[in-house]
Structure 1
């Protein structure tokens, strides 16, 4: 199949790999042709370009910064995102053909770029739903349910679900929540599509032993590493509880 994957979190190969790059590479390994349209807002990336990466074509689109910026800055970048994506696809992918569009949220404003692509290439889409927004923003106290912002984002959310040909949720509970609070959605198009990650067995080398010695960590103790975002949605209070409860754990 010819897949157009529109993403805001598709790092360059020299930087890192994520669940999204792993998914795209797995599709390539299974014989599919993948073209990625990736929002790129690094300070060292100056111009939109179509590049060969990871055995696929990646159209890196220069956009406003979406992460690690203030609320207002991010809001402007999210709202203008669709214009950058659509203009780039018009310029670089005008003559291409695709069988379906793959995309993830957040941000929910991806809906506009995806809608354009579905119409242009006459194909269905698959939404990988990672966050239930704006409800999570209400739960975190970022916006109020009675506010104009909630009304605006809720309309965007509903148009997102209506647009997607199929919706993949993170869990059965997420699936049930979406269907319960959006009665207009056909249940047959919603399914569970959890995160996946390609696993590799790391090789132990001399540097690992040097690190233990440097920080005076006994060889028999287990080293626990937290990998991921650290913010309100991740429940840092729970992480703090784990750290405190293991403060005197002689095995870790």
Structure 2
């Protein structure tokens, strides 16, 4: 088939990666002709570029990541216009797709999907990751019932309507979409868990890595990824305060995001010597650091009313370390981690004492931690690789 992927964040193939590059590489490896439309991260890298057998159309857009809510909103509104113009200019008649795949965010690309579907009669497969605009309401970025909310809510409903199949992260996701969108054709909805390529790690070097990063004699809790409003790492700093006099517990945070400077300043103000904050690292370097940690941290704002399933869990599973989840009570992620996969523990994100109890439990039970790490790894390799996701998508198209 000819597969067209409408992307928001799509690192250059061979120079980085995320779940979407992994998936498109799998489609390529399975013999499909893959086209991608994505924002350009550099001024001099626009236009149609062959990236290891995937034709990527890099489009000049306004900044979409690590910017304020207003700039991000304007950039998302303009995105479909930029994409349509670039597709007309560069693809011309070269591509009439059989399958259009698009993720959320953003939902504004629904207009591009409608336009392409009319031209090609292609099927549209929606990878539902963010449920927008409700997540923006939860985080106080948008008023429920206001003009912007009603505008984006209309686009969300239209996106569900034009999609032939919708892959949801969890059963909680499916139930939420059905509850608040009763008009949806239920047969469109099915389970599509997060996925990631397996990265080979040399676990024999773990002691050397711990020495290299100063992890010796410490219980290291690592967090990697976006540092933004959804993660609300202020909650984690409240937990770190409880360990201020205990130099055996270290919180190691790696990433970028709109809230990073704020978190760094708060950590300094609280004089938290047990918190280290680093910039983003190349994927394999980051995975090596994770393998040297004792557990992987998931942090979600307690304000969420929608069920989120963070994809960063898979990096922790890959490294065979247990997951510590500080999450809202509306997600089914805690059930997934603690009861279904048996790969970690969870506590409400706004209750630091309960999170501390979970950390103390993990610290005191290295054998249980090891078993959780193995359970997570087995789930990962058996159910959450790009090949598994590819097969699930193909079952519905």
By the TM > 0.5 criterion, same fold?
yes
Structure 1 position 48, deviation (Å): 3.0
Query: C-alpha separation between the residues in 2 aligned to 1:86 and 1:21?
Result: 22
CA deviations on 1:181-211 (whole Å, 9 max, x unpaired) are: 1011000011111210001122479898377
Structure 1 position 7, deviation (Å): 0.4
* Structure 1 residues 16 and 223, CA gap change in structure 2 (3 angstroms): farther
Counterpart of 2:66 in structure 1 is: 68
Q: Under a length normalisation based on structure 2, what TM-score does the superposition of the two structures give?
A: 0.57
Structure 1 position 243, deviation (Å): 4.3
CA deviations on 1:113-166 (whole Å, 9 max, x unpaired) are: 111111122211001011111111111122121321111111111111111111
Query: C-alpha separation between the residues in 1 aligned to 2:75 and 2:214?
Result: 45
Q: Which stretch shifts more, 26-35 or 200-209? A: 200-209
Query: C-alpha separation between the residues in 2 aligned to 1:62 and 1:208?
Result: 45
Query: C-alpha separation between the residues in 2 aligned to 1:207 and 1:178?
Result: 42
Query: C-alpha separation between the residues in 2 aligned to 1:91 and 1:24?
Result: 23
Query: C-alpha separation between the residues in 1 aligned to 2:51 and 2:45?
Result: 17
Listed as ranges, the matches of 1:205-220 within 5 Å are 209=208, 212-213=211-212, 216-218=214-216
Report if the CA contact (8 A) 2:27-2:34 is conserved. Answer: yes
* Structure 1 residues 35 and 208, CA gap change in structure 2 (3 angstroms): farther
Listed as ranges, the matches of 1:159-170 within 5 Å are 159-170=158-169
Query: C-alpha separation between the residues in 2 aligned to 1:34 and 1:245?
Result: 50
RMSD, aligned α-carbons: 2.5
Query: C-alpha separation between the residues in 2 aligned to 1:205 and 1:151?
Result: 54
Report if the CA contact (8 A) 1:13-1:54 is conserved. Answer: yes
Report if the CA contact (8 A) 1:46-1:62 is conserved. Answer: no
| Alignment of 1:187 onto 2:197 | no
Alignment partner of 2:224 out of 224, 227, 230: 227
- SS of 1:35's equivalent in the other structure is strand
Query: C-alpha separation between the residues in 2 aligned to 1:197 and 1:216?
Result: 28
Q: Under a length normalisation based on structure 1, what TM-score does the superposition of the two structures give?
A: 0.88
Query: C-alpha separation between the residues in 1 aligned to 2:117 and 2:12?
Result: 26
Query: C-alpha separation between the residues in 2 aligned to 1:199 and 1:47?
Result: 29
Q: Which stretch shifts more, 232-241 or 14-23? A: 232-241
Q: Which runs of 5+ in 1 are unaligned?
A: none
* Structure 1 residues 132 and 216, CA gap change in structure 2 (3 angstroms): closer
Report if the CA contact (8 A) 2:80-2:112 is conserved. Answer: yes
Listed as ranges, the matches of 1:4-153 within 5 Å are 4-13=4-13, 15-40=15-40, 42=41, 44-46=42-44, 48-95=46-93, 96-153=95-152
Q: Which runs of 5+ in 2 are unaligned?
A: 250-293, 295-397
